[in-house]
Amino acid sequence: MEMNDMILMSVDDHIIEPPDMFDNHLPPKYKDDAPRLIHMENGADMWKFRDRIIPNVALNAVAGRPKEEYGLEPEGLDEIRPGCYNAAERVKDMNAGGVLAGMNFPSFPGFAARLFATEDSDFSLALVQAYNDWHIDEWCGEHPGRFIPMGLPVIWDAELCAQEIRRNAKKGVHSLTFTENPAALGYPSFHSDYWDPVWKALVDTDTVMCVHIGSSGKLSIPAVDSPPDVMITLQPMNIVNAAADLLWSAPIKKYKDLKIALSEGGTGWIPYFLERVDRTFDMHSTWTMQNFDGKLPSEVFKEHFLTCFISDPLGVKLRHDIGIDNISWEMDYPHSDSMWPHAPEELWSVFQEAQVPDDEINKITFENTMKWYHFDPFKHIPKEQCTVGALRAQAQGHDVSIQALSHHQSSAEEKLAAWEQQIQAAAAQQT
């Protein structure tokens, strides 16, 4: 296999939602109260929902922009690539980057759609369903084989959430975005039987629960005066808590076919994690009363969890300690960790360094993703047209050059000051 022969499917990309997303799917009686995109005097476009203002911050949409423009300043749609918010343009960017398909997490509603949880459950449900229908029918539906559909949860009501999972599954959706820590959002923890309807719906529809880093909204930083590098470094580590919480939870034992993806969590930490859970079980299960029916926790982990990475050379080297059937690749477009448009080059270098054979490359880059999410793009696109080389050939002339798009001229010092203000405000809110 050569680099251009790879078929790439990303299990973690992101949408910057367009302003017209609710137009075709929200009942008329709710349209005046729906979230709307407003243009600010400073040129930024922000979502407004009741008394909440949610900015599009630069780190969320920096694909194709110089690193000097990274920061936390809110920005307008004219400061980011159209592929961030326009599905047809996204497909062009994917072609140019050699990527066949992607699964797109939400932005302004939050990964668990907690923004939509209001005192009016009917209105809240209508918002979730409108978002899901827009995402499934328009963003994904108008480009068959290019997007792996994902549903938002009804986070405030487990029964309604189960119904929405089943509704989406009838439309071919086998992915649910969720929070890594519902208790942090004020809901029962994974150890409560409150979520039983959700677990059952996931299993009945063979839907994967995707817990994305940062989806609980909690910041993992040791001090409010820590530099931003601390939070950015620790972001993938947050998923370790969720992995442990879920692995030791009752649903893992009760629902044998439950599937969970640790989205954007990386993989290099997993071999140590599996050693640790096995030792914990060996040393303490007699009094903690843990029972995995004769299996080790590490074995159970491999039955239930999909792990995901962007580059992660160490994780690729340790792939057999993780489980070669439990690893999928992700690109993270258009976030600041993304390798777009040079994903094939960087990923191929990682594979070559680790001497990964062709059959294992195929599992990591597309076969595991197709299996876990019941996604088959080859029904719509001949397989020979899905390779890195074939897609890039289609994209000849599409501009992927680095371009300075920001209207802001903030210095590094001003960016750090904005960071400190945001962290202090977040810390005050958490206390």
The DSSP secondary-structure symbol of 57 reads: B
346 within a domain of the structure (yes/no): yes
* Chain center to CA of 120: 28
Region of 355 please: left (phi>0), alpha (psi -120 to 50) or beta: left
Rounded distance between C-alpha atoms, residue 191 and residue 198, angstroms: 13
Per-residue pLDDT of the chain (431 residues; tens, 9 = 90+): 999 999 999 999 999 999 999 999 999 999 999 999 999 888 889 999 999 999 887 788 889 988 888 877 768 999 999 999 999 999 999 999 999 999 999 999 999 999 999 999 999 999 999 999 999 999 999 999 999 999 999 999 999 999 999 999 999 999 999 999 999 999 999 999 999 999 999 999 999 999 998 887 665 555 667 787 887 787 777 799 999 999 999 999 999 999 999 999 999 999 999 999 999 999 999 999 999 999 999 999 999 999 999 999 999 999 999 999 999 999 999 999 999 999 999 999 999 999 999 999 999 999 999 999 999 999 999 999 999 999 999 999 999 998 888 776 677 777 677 666 666 655 555 54
- Residue closest to 23 by CA, chosen among 116, 137, 122, 121: 137
The total number of structural domains in the chain stands at 1
Burial profile 69-97: b = 16 or more Cβ within 10 angstroms, e = fewer? bebbbbbbbebbbebbbbbeebbbbbbbb
50 within a domain of the structure (yes/no): no
Nearest-5° angle of CA 106, CA 350, CA 363? 65
- Token digits of residue 404: 């300075």
By the 8 A CB rule, do 301 and 280 touch? Answer: no
Rounded distance between C-alpha atoms, residue 13 and residue 47, angstroms: 20
48 within a domain of the structure (yes/no): no
By the 8 A CB rule, do 44 and 55 touch? Answer: yes
By the 8 A CB rule, do 211 and 242 touch? Answer: yes
φ, ψ of residue 24 in degrees (nearest 5): -100, 0
- Residue closest to 301 by CA, chosen among 269, 278, 329: 278
Instruction: List the 305-309 sheet strands across, edge first.
Output: 175-178, 208-212, 259-263, 305-309, 327-329
Rounded distance between C-alpha atoms, residue 375 and residue 354, angstroms: 28
DSSP string for residues in 66-85 = -GGG-SS-B--GGGS-GGGT
54 within a domain of the structure (yes/no): no
Please return the burial class of 32, using the count of CB atoms within 10 Å of its CB with bins 0-12, 13-18 and 19+.
Answer: exposed
Alpha helices in 144-206 (DSSP H): 158-169, 196-205
pLDDT of residue 299: 98
By the 8 A CB rule, do 9 and 362 touch? Answer: no
Rounded distance between C-alpha atoms, residue 89 and residue 3, angstroms: 24
Element (H, E) at 413: helix 412-430
47 within a domain of the structure (yes/no): no
- Token digits of residue 248: 């030791």
pLDDT of residue 426: 56
- CB half-sphere exposure, 355, CA atoms < 13 A: 0
> Rg of the chain's alpha carbons, rounded to an integer?
21
Cα–Cα distances in angstroms (integers) from residue 154 to residues 64, 100, 112, 140, 143, in the given order: 34, 30, 8, 20, 26
Query: Which amino acid would we find at residue 48?
Result: K
Rounded distance between C-alpha atoms, residue 149 and residue 172, angstroms: 8
pLDDT of residue 425: 59
pLDDT of residue 229: 84
130 within a domain of the structure (yes/no): yes
Write down the pTM of the prediction: 0.94
The CATH number that applies at residue 262 is: 3.20.20.140
**Structural domain boundaries enclosing 317:** 3-38+82-430
51 within a domain of the structure (yes/no): no
Rounded distance between C-alpha atoms, residue 354 and residue 319, angstroms: 10
76 within a domain of the structure (yes/no): no
- Token digits of residue 396: 């000849």
